[in-house]
Every structure is written in structure tokens, then in C-alpha cells.
Structure 1
Amino acid sequence: MSLEELKKEFLKIGEKPYRGLQLYNYMHKNMNSDVLNINSFSKELRDKLNRDYYISDLKILERFDSKLDGTKKYLFLLEDNNIIEGVAMKYKYGYSACISTQVGCRMGCSFCASTKEGIIRNITPGEMLSEIYNIQRNLGIRLSNIVLMGSGEPLDNYLNVMKMLRILNDKNGQNFSFRNVTISTCGIVHKIYQLADEEIPVTLSVSLHFPFNELRSKIMPINNKYHIEEIIKACKYYVNRTNRRVTFEYTLIEGLNDGRECLDELKRILNGLLCHVNIIPLNPIKEFKYKKPEMDAVKIFVKELNKNGIPATVRRQMGADIDAACGQLRRSYMNEKGLL
């Protein structure tokens, strides 16, 4: 519930609205979930809340720590026994967390492990917040950045994502800046326009990966509905509306999208757009037959983009020894337990 919804709920049960603010602080500022421990409430009120309501709080099923770079990968158990995952990555500026927005994904991108069983359900605002709070409590830190780039397509769970972000940003809770949030999408164009009109300064990250429609449509089914030209047009609208730079994720795949023709077309479609290209050497999965390119080829690709005025960097690979790419650890765990 938002703060206003919580205040109205307390009025409905014969309590003062300020009790709603107290509970909101308890849950979102202090990241607590057991109403029986709210000492400022009477025992009668605590018992009533415990009986008639619940605070969704997922559980950390397992945590895997990378020996390479300190990345922490979490498997979270939801109350319906579904499993999702999150990642905490340590940088010089602090910790960044990547969280999931859906159990599974309906987008069907060939190279992504998250989508292999399709969509199971959307994750609620409370569950998304619980991913964040559990990571912060577990590590004893405050996150510097939050990326909605784990399992699921955030813009396919639009209303829940927006509600979660507004609660996260609320000064009575975490007071987390929108500017430190990145929302990833594979290109749901009408939702990009909607997000631009929200007037919240989050960073938009578009999983582009291919510069030609025919090739992109084969690997990313969303492209059959929204072509690259429509996505770029929506991104230009987003930049003009928010004055925020758009990030394009480009997974470099040997022999598929790493050639000169793809490079030249990528330069053409991004020319003049306020953007940054995040080059990601492929993280192979067994269901996708292509390979990761040699690092020298990756560096040449990046250098060519930069030379043509398109800022590009290679995304640092984190947690390679713990299946840290989205969807990989969940699938490994569920296969091991015979759940797939």
C-alpha cells in the first residue's frame, strides 16, 4: 500500500491516520515486517493487524558469493514457493542491486535463461521492495543504485513497478532517488512513451542487441510487434521529455551481430541520439548455440563506436563463477532440485 492507502485503511478500522504513517515508517524506513514488534501500537492493535493483514516478505533461500569480485547472488523464496533471484554488485561508489520484476518472462528472447519456462506471474510492489530490503539487511548496507534488469520484463509489469518505485522514493521510507534507478526493457514501445510521461528521472535501458529488424525478430520476438525504428523514435521522445541519456544494451555474439555490417548499421541508427551503448560479451546458455566473441573483437567494436561519437563501454562481467547472469542461477538450482 502507498502511504495514503495505508492511512485510509487505518481510518476504516477506527484508528487515527497517523498510525498509518507509523506503520509505513516501520516497514519502509526501518525495513521491518513483523507487526507484533511495533511497540508504539497497543497489543490489541498489533494482534488485529497480525490477524487481518500481512506484510509480504520473501525469504533468502540461498546466497552465493563470488570469489572473483565479491558479487552476491540471491535466490529468494516467495510465499507461493516460486523462486526468483537478485544480485548485489560492489563497485567503488558502493553497492548496486539487480532485482527481478516477474517470475519468468513472456518475451522469449533466445539467448536469455529467464524466459525458458515462460511467464509464471508478476511480482508485487511489496515483493520487489522486499528483494531490496533483504539485500540491504543481509549485507548491512544502503544500496547506491537499483537496476530492474533481473528476471522478467519490467514494462510488462508496469503498474506494479511504478507503485514500487514511488514507495521506494517516498521521503517517509527509503527516500531513494529516481536518478539512481535503471529500468530495462526489450522494447515495449507504448510503455516507453508512458514511462516518459511519468516525469520521473529514471534511466531507461533498452535491450537492443541487433541493429537489423530481420535478425532481431528471429532472436527477440518483441521485434515482430515493435520494429527498431519505432523503438528509436520512442527513445528520442524519452530523451526529449526527461533530458536523460538512454542506455542501449548490446550483447555481442560471435558470428551473429559482431560484424562490420551490424556495426555500421548500429552507428547509423544511433547517430545524434543522447545515448550510451553497453557492450555485453555473450553469457552462453546451452539452449543457444552461439558463442562469446574474443575480447580483442569486443574492444575493436567498442573503439569503432566511440570513434564515431557514440559513447560505448564493455560491461564488466560480475559473478562469472556463480551463474550471475539473469535467470541462470534459478534454472541451475531448479534443475538440481528436479523442479524443471
Structure 2
Amino acid sequence: MGCAFCASTLHGRARDLTAAEMLGEVFFIEEKLRGEDQHVDTMVLMGSGEPLMNYENVVAFLHLVHDPAILGMSYRSITLSTSGIVPNIYRLADEGLPVSLSISLHAPEDALRSTLMPINKKYPMQDVVAAGKAYGDRTKRRVTYEYILIDGVNDSDRHADELAQLLRGQLASVNLIPINPVVERHLLRPPAERIAAFEQRLAAHHIAVTVRREMGTDINAACGQLRNRHLEQDA
């Protein structure tokens, strides 16, 4: 999707996954966990790709993992993350599948969001947030807005106030994500005190907010980083 902070775009798009390939990934992890007497009980569709640009395969996959004869996973244990493909957010709401929706926002106003996320030029922020509200109203599921914190870019008190104003009155929460730096992008993580101040300012506006627990920085696990490293090793 061309996001300025993401490693996924460095080598471009290859192709969409089929529903069967997605299911194969789940079976692979399920088999790994079986030896530890565990199983896959939650799932997030995200990473190197945009689920709602592969709509038919994604919905077919959701039906497969929910099927009692396959995995029998509850739709409510599944989260779909999107950069904001507005028409397909409405389509997903009409499917009647109560999966949780997570929308990558990353800025509280259009000019900045367009700089960080070029898709905003096609689906502006206000339309994205309106679609998120409609999804929450239709499914009765709380929508999560993901917000990557980037030092000196989108982490000021003003940004927090504008974000709170944008989301006021929605069945929604904010998931703050201190950026997992990508060397090629030259974007840095804010200091811990700035992250805490941003969180506290949203909370003061009565916005439900969490800071994503730190996982994966040491193994290049942010969106696209593992793929990028693999492609560089094979070059």
C-alpha cells in the first residue's frame, strides 16, 4: 500500500494468497503447537498485505477456519487489520461475520495521513472513520484504530487532541504502536515519556487506549521486515 513507515513496500507486491494458502499457514502453526498441547485460538489478518484488497479469498478463508469440520474457530477470536479500503469495510459489515476490525489510522488529519499512507488520497480519513463507525454500529464490535507513534511526526499533544476529537462518540479504542524502526525509512521511535504522555492525553479525553506490548523488535518482525531480509539474503 506504499506506507512510508513499512518494510512491506520496499520490494513491491508479488501476488495475493489464496484461501487455501492462508489455511495452510494456520495448519502449520497448529501442528507446531500440538506438541505443546496448545492450539491456535486467536488470529490477526495483517502483515505483508492488505486483506481487504484480497477480499474474496479472505472471506472464503474466514468461512473455512470457522467451519466446525476444519478448525471451528469463533469469528470473535479473529481480527482483520486494514489500511482503510472503505467500500470493502462496508462489504465486510454486510457479511454478518462478527470479526473484529482494526483500522490503521496513524494520523489525525488528511495531509499528514496522505504523507504516511498514500491510500488516504483515494479513501480520505473522514470516510475511513465513517466506515469504521458503521462497522461498529452494524456488528456491535468495538473497532480498534491503530496509531504508529513516530518521533517528531505524529506524536505531539496536538495530534493526540485531534485524534480524540476525531473518534469521539464511536464504539472504538486506540492501539498505540511505537514504531518498529525500518532502517531504510529513517523514522524513529519517540522516547518513552512522549509515548506515555500521548497515551495519557487520549485517556484524559475518555478515549479507550492501550500501548502495544513490545514484541518482535529483536527479530525484525514488523510488517514486511522478515520478507525483506529473506529477499536480500537471496539476492
The CA deviation string for residues 22-46 of structure 1, in whole angstroms up to 9 with x for no partner, is: xxxxxxxxxxxxxxxxxxxxxxxxx
CA distance in 1, matches of 2:133, 2:234: 46
Q: Which residue of 1 aligns with 2:194?
A: 297
Q: In the alignment, which of 102, 108, 115 is matched to residue 211 of structure 1?
A: 108
AA aligned opposite 2:4: S
AA aligned opposite 1:125: A
Aligned-CA RMSD value: 0.9
Matches within 5 A, 1:230-269: 230-269=127-166
Unaligned runs of 5+ in 2: none
CA apart distance, 1:320: 2.1
The CA deviation string for residues 128-151 of structure 1, in whole angstroms up to 9 with x for no partner, is: 000011011023231121000121
CA distance in 1, matches of 2:115, 2:204: 30
CA distance in 2, matches of 1:201, 1:331: 33
AA aligned opposite 1:110: A
Give % identity: 48
Unaligned runs of 5+ in 1: 1-106
Q: Which residue of 1 aligns with 2:181?
A: 284
Q: Which residue of 1 aligns with 2:47?
A: 150
The CA deviation string for residues 87-124 of structure 1, in whole angstroms up to 9 with x for no partner, is: xxxxxxxxxxxxxxxxxxxx110111112222110000
CA apart distance, 1:161: 0.2
Q: In the alignment, which of 88, 110, 118 is matched to residue 221 of structure 1?
A: 118
Aligned residues: 232
Q: Is the Cα contact below 8 Å between 1:211 and 1:265 reproduced in 2?
A: yes
SS at match of 1:248: strand
AA aligned opposite 2:165: R
SS at match of 2:72: coil
AA aligned opposite 1:115: T
SS at match of 2:183: coil
Instruction: Name which structure has the greater RCO, CA cutoff 8 Å, separation 6+.
Output: 2
Q: Is the Cα contact below 8 Å between 1:277 and 1:310 reproduced in 2?
A: yes
The alignment's TM-score, normalised by the length of structure 2, stands at: 0.96
CA apart distance, 1:302: 0.7
Matches within 5 A, 1:1-340: 107-140=1-34, 141-338=38-235
The CA deviation string for residues 55-113 of structure 1, in whole angstroms up to 9 with x for no partner, is: xxxxxxxxxxxxxxxxxxxxxxxxxxxxxxxxxxxxxxxxxxxxxxxxxxxx1101111
Which protein has the bigger strand share? 1
Which protein has the bigger helix share? 2
